[in-house]
Amino acid sequence: MKNEIAKEVLTEFERLSDDDKNSLSTALEHHYGKQVRFLIDELSKMDQKDLQNIKSIIGGMIITREYAADIQNVHASLKDRDLPSRISFGIIGGNDFH
């Protein structure tokens, strides 16, 4: 089981850019107090919970990189549109406020 998670972590890690790999390695080194090497033998020695956490972090990094640019483009395209700047939901519960 741990070996499978280690393989998944390594596969996801390979999807990161070099800058993201370096950032992640630095952050994990700071967190664990030692260098985390992304090699199957090294990852297999780690606690399963730590591997799951690292896998989740990498997944978050990938999602952020894939969709952050889209969010910026959408925001830029909506910048000059006449959209409401105030949102209201009306009275909740009718006459509950006496």
Residue range 49-66, pLDDT digits in tens: 999 999 999 999 999 888
With 0.95 as the threshold, say if the pTM is over it.
no
Signed CA dihedral, 16, 12, 58, 51: sign only: negative
Largest pairwise CA distance in the chain: 67
The answer for residues whose C-beta is within 8 angstroms of residue 17's C-beta and 6 or more apart is 65
Over its length of 98 residues, how does the chain's per-residue pLDDT go in tens digits? 789 999 999 999 999 999 999 999 999 999 999 999 999 999 999 999 999 999 999 999 999 888 777 777 887 888 888 877 777 777 766 665 55
Domain ranges of the chain: 2-68
